[in-house]
């Protein structure tokens, strides 16, 4: 995990490398299901790449996704828009890293 500062806001992001995309998708799906099973509610987003990945979890925003062998997301963000901005950055950067890994 790591924390990012966006103005006055601090956003916590998490990243984990799995063995492959299939494993990363399974881990992301398991965490998503945990959130929903424990009171989380799917949230709407204007960002197409985040559809189905943004969850309201007790008045905080959780985002979880898989890109290449990585499972990543945002944890307990107070501001959905800021969380989505950071998630989009992570998706793009991890996508680049996944491409670099597959080219090795």
The phi and psi torsions of 34 (rounded to 5 degrees) equal -60, -45
pLDDT digits (tens, 9 = 90+) for 50-89: 999 999 999 999 999 999 999 999 999 999 999 999 999 9
| CB atoms closer than 10 angstroms to residue 65 | 22
Q: What is the mean pLDDT of the chain?
A: 94
| 71-94 b/e (C-beta count within 10 Å ≥ 16 → b) | bbbbbebeebebbbbbbeebbeeb
């Amino acid at each position: 995990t790591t924390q990012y500062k966006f103005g006055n806001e601090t956003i916590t992001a998490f990243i984990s490398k799995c063995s492959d995309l299939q494993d990363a998708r399974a881990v992301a799906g398991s965490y998503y299901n945990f959130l929903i099973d424990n009171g989380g509610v799917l949230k709407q987003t204007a960002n197409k790449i985040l559809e189905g990945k943004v969850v309201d979890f007790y008045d905080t925003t959780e985002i979880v996704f898989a890109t290449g062998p990585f499972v990543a997301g945002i944890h307990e963000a107070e501001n959905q828009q800021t969380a989505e901005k950071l998630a989009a950055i992570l998706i793009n950067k991890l996508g680049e890293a996944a491409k670099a890994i597959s080219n090795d």
